[in-house]
Amino acid sequence: MTFVERFRAFCAERRSHLCVGLDPEPARLPVAVRGEPDPVFAFNKAIVDATLDVAPVYKPNFAFYEALGLEGWTSLKRTVEYIGGRAIVLADAKRGDIENTQRAYAKAVFDVFGFDAATVSVYPGRDAAEAFLRYEEKGVFVLCRTSNRSGDDLQNLVFDGRPLYERVAELAVEWNGRGNCGLVVGATYPAELASVVRIAPGLPILIPGAGAQGGDVEASVRAAGNNPFVVSSSRGIIYAGDGPDFAEAARRAALALRDQIEMVATH
Amino acid sequence: MTFVERFRAFCAERRSHLCVGLDPEPARLPVAVRGEPDPVFAFNKAIVDATLDVAPVYKPNFAFYEALGLEGWTSLKRTVEYIGGRAIVLADAKRGDIENTQRAYAKAVFDVFGFDAATVSVYPGRDAAEAFLRYEEKGVFVLCRTSNRSGDDLQNLVFDGRPLYERVAELAVEWNGRGNCGLVVGATYPAELASVVRIAPGLPILIPGAGAQGGDVEASVRAAGNNPFVVSSSRGIIYAGDGPDFAEAARRAALALRDQIEMVATH
């Protein structure tokens, strides 16, 4: 089974194109988990338990674990192991360096942690993607159009009549010899997403920026069309409540976003 | 004392513009350290002890520590602590994400590990730099022209008559309100380095790609002109020998590169 087949199968089985971002911030963790020996893992476990039947993909963002030092890495490893094969686990690490270095990053993400997929940043070009794409059974999502406004600084520079992010989408298509390359396009830019999908039909798309960042979910799902995709929300789901029922609140937020997506999704 | 003043002071005191890259690969570690309880730290410590008087800057590359799992992070933390304030310690991590995430990465690098400086990747624009630049006393080196050939894929795309990497250099100048922004330009592209220096006079430049990658050291140093700079070599120094005298071999390689740089350096 290829990565894209697994990705599609999880979405179909859960009738959901939702990705839950696991971005633990100590100051926002509910009191209910703060007394646990590993509060971050306890928090993630509760969120996963409450959302697994509607979340085909989980996306831990490495930054929030690194900010916790060694304990953060332990919590991250436990989280990946806990989810096990029950969903796609996507490493949102956006690593991007020359080949020799990027191979070490890919080893960390895929061999050490055992993630199913990862985001990469390709300012260094093909080398940065290739070191990850060599893992044929893993999904590799190339950062194309970020969800933030200052993404314009580089991504909307126009050359030969088209913006840089479109060129990145073309490159991803070129680099996709093994069929495991995807793209990241923010839900805050549905028109750009539509143009990316025209350039890269069939490539899986990770669409972050729903929820706290205010992305347009319906327009993004329409723009994704027939490409495999997930819409990702982190803060909007995991911090939906901070009381003892925080996991139930997260579940309600996840269901609401799932329903919002599925109303428009065509596949 | 600002970061640039500290950077210049270390270079002046050591009469050296050399940065030693600490990229430990298990398969290449000399037998002499393999029996140690923390072989990577033992290796780094030996390299630092042998080169400290000629290396104003050390640059651990995060990928090689991450690839070792939790033990790698412990070795990295011990390495930073061991160097202490005796040289600039630069986190080569090339993190690049939206602001909320990037703040967590900056916290990891500067607060958790205590690095003096870091590389950042700015495909997400100003946000990715700003979260690091807020640490006024730290140096932030924006990835501008990578040392690898496939860097051309994006960096040499031409818009408004100039390549993307030049626009990145311009942006770094715009973002440099606190005086702590630098740039990364590979020694493999001295002509591009010269144009970056014209755009960004006075900004400190990290020049990787000397040694194993075959960068042109003399041409790069000439191109750096009066900007503060260091030329970085990793594999060419730390793996200069693999016998029991590996540290001495590293020292000889470091001295040779230092001398090669200083023959041409004007400041």
Looking up residue A192, the CATH number of its domain turns out to be: 3.20.20.70
Q: What is the dihedral of CA A218, A254, A24, A123, to 10 degrees?
A: -30
Mutation pick from A111, A150, A158, A238 vs chain B, by most beta carbons of B within 10 Å, is A150
Question: Using one digit for the tens of pLDDT, what is the confidence trace for B75-131?
Answer: 999 999 999 999 999 999 999 999 999 999 999 999 999 999 999 999 999 999 999
Distance from CA of B20 to the nearest CA of A (A): 16
Interchain proximity B101–A153, CB inside 8 Å: no
Contacts of B28 in chain A (CB under 8 A): none
Binary contact (A148, B124; C-beta < 8 A): yes
Q: Given this model, what pLDDT does residue A11 score? A: 98
Nearest CA in chain B to A152: B125
Rg (CA), chain A: 17
Is A157 in contact with B159 (Cβ distance < 8 A)? yes
Enzyme catalytic residues of A: 94
Of B45, B59, B94, B138, which residue is the catalytic one? Answer: B94
How large is the average pLDDT for residues B163-188?
A: 98
B42 is a domain residue: yes
Query: Model confidence over B139-159: pLDDT tens digits?
Result: 999 999 999 999 999 999 998
Residues found in chain A: 267
Are A155 and B123 within 8 A, CB to CB? yes
The complex scores an ipTM of 0.97
Residue-level pLDDT at A214: 85
Q: Is the pLDDT of residue B201 over 80?
A: yes
pLDDT bucket at A245, cuts 50 / 70 / 90: very high
Distance from CA of B177 to the nearest CA of A (A): 17
Residue to mutate among A110, A121, A174, with most B CBs inside 10 A, is A121
Chain A residue numbers touching B98 (CB-CB < 8 A): 146-148, 151
The shortest C-alpha distance from B176 to chain A (Å) reads: 15
Q: What is the pLDDT of residue A160?
A: 85
Rounded average pLDDT over B54-78:
97
Of A23, A66, A98, the CB nearest to B146: A98
- What pLDDT was estimated at residue B211? 79
Arithmetic mean of pLDDT, A139-146: 98
CB contact under 8 A, A147 and B123: no
Q: How far apart are CA A8 and CA A2, in angstroms?
A: 10
In a domain, A267, yes or no: no
Q: Flag if B153 and A73 touch (Cβ within 8 Å).
A: no
More confident residue, B212 or B11: B11
**Model pLDDT, residue B39:** 98
Statement: residue B212 has pLDDT above 90: no
Residue B67 confidence class, pLDDT cut points 50, 70, 90: very high
Task: Tell me the count of A-B CB pairs closer than 8 A.
Answer: 169
- Please, what sign has the CA dihedral across residues A41, A44, A50, A54? negative
Contacts A146 to B, Cβ<8 Å: 97-98, 123-125
| Residue B267 located in a structural domain | no
Residues of chain A neighbouring B122 (CB-CB closer than 8 A): 123, 153-154
pLDDT at B267 over 80: no
Contacts of A232 in chain B (CB under 8 A): none
Inform me whether the pLDDT recorded for A72 exceeds 90: yes
Residues of A in contact with B105 (CB under 8 A): 63, 66-67
For B236, how many CA atoms within 13 A lie in the half-sphere containing its CB?
Answer: 21
pLDDT in tens, A197-237: 999 999 999 999 997 788 899 999 999 999 999 999 999 99
Contact A151 B124 (CB under 8 A): yes
Average pLDDT (A102-106) is 98
Going by pLDDT thresholds of 50, 70 and 90, the confidence category of residue B214 is confident
CA distance to partner chain A, nearest, from residue B99 (Å): 8
Residue type (1 letter), A188: T
Q: Which residues are bridge partners to B230 per DSSP?
A: B206
A37 HSE (CA, 13 A, CB side): 2
Judging contacts by C-beta atoms under 8 Å, the chain B residues touching residue A102 are: 63
Say yes or no for a CB contact (<8 Å) between A127 and B108.
no
Mean pLDDT of chain A: 97
Determine, yes or no, domain membership for A229: yes
pLDDT the model gives residue B162: 93
Please answer yes or no on whether B66 and A148 come within 8 Å at the CB atom. Answer: no
Residue B248: both structure tokens together? 């001495």
For B252, the domain range is 3-262
pLDDT band of A103, cuts 50, 70, 90: very high
Residue B218 has a pLDDT of 96
B51: pLDDT strictly greater than 90: yes
Average pLDDT of the segment spanning A33-56:
98
The pLDDT score that the predictor gives to residue B266 is 79
Sequence-separated (6 or more) residues with CB below 8 Å from residue A132: A102, A105, A106, A109, A110, A118, A120, A138, A140
Residues of chain A with Cβ-Cβ distance to B146 below 8 Å are 97-98, 123-125
pLDDT of residue A211: 79
Contact (CB<8Å) B123/A143: yes
Count structural domains, chain B.
1
Residue with tokens 């997260």: A250
Distance between A48 CA and the closest CA of chain B, angstroms: 21
A101 occurs within a structural domain: yes
- Please give the model's pTM, rounded to 2 decimal places: 0.98
For residue A145, is it within any domain?
yes
Query: If you average pLDDT over residues B33-44, what whole number do you get?
Result: 97
3-state secondary structure chain B: CCHHHHHHHHHHHHCCCEEEEECCCHHHCCHHHHCCCCHHHHHHHHHHHHHHHHCCEEEEEHHHHHCCCHHHHHHHHHHHHHHHHHCEEEEEEEECCCHHHHHHHHHHHHHHCCCCEEEECCCCCHHHHHHHHCCCCCEEEEEEECCCHHHHHHHCCEECCEEHHHHHHHHHHHCCCCCCEEEEECCCCHHHHHHHHHHCCCCCEEECCCHHHCCCHHHHHHHHCCCCEEEEECHHHHCCCCCCCHHHHHHHHHHHHHHHHHCCCCC
Are A167 and B154 an interchain contact pair (Cβ–Cβ within 8 Å)?
Answer: yes
B219 located within any domain: yes
Token duo for residue A174: 């070129």
A267: pLDDT strictly greater than 80: no
- Looking at the domain assignment, is residue B62 inside a domain? yes
Nearest to B148 among A64, A98, A150 (CB): A98
Q: Which of A70, A96, A153 sits opposite B121 (nearest CB)?
A: A96
Instruction: Give the mean pLDDT of B8-17.
Output: 98
